[in-house]
Amino acid sequence: MARWVADLVTCETTDMATHVTLTGDLTGDYVVVDRREDGSLVIEPDTSMQAIRRRHSATPATLDEFEAEYGPVGPPDGEG
């Protein structure tokens, strides 16, 4: 994974895609969808589950939290 930071852009490259985080007028997480011959990039909002969780500061519930909301979790029923 490569990572670089400019004044308004943080870029992180993984095996799947290049993710950029912009600050300023277009603050948020984006994904590079095209790299043009002139060096310009086409980006779109990152709609991955990880980006959505970051935007909402969401974390998975603990087992105790889940059971407090929905009741006890039973043993697996073998249905997959």
Task: Answer whether residue 77 is part of any domain.
Answer: no
Is there a domain that residue 7 lies in? yes
Q: How much is the pLDDT for 12? A: 61
Per residue of the chain (80 residues), give pLDDT as tens: 445 454 555 556 555 678 888 888 878 888 888 888 998 888 899 988 888 888 899 999 999 999 999 999 998 888 86
**pTM for the full model?**
0.54
* pLDDT for position 8: 52
Residue 75 in domain: no
Q: In angstroms, how far is CA 20 from the centroid of its own chain?
A: 10
- 43 and 29 Cβ atoms separated by less than 8 Å: no
In a domain, 27, yes or no: yes
Confirm whether 26 is domain-assigned.
Answer: yes
Q: Which of 35, 58, 30, 32 is nearest to 46 (CA)?
A: 30
Domain total of the chain: 1
pLDDT of residue 13: 59
Residue 76 maps to a domain: no
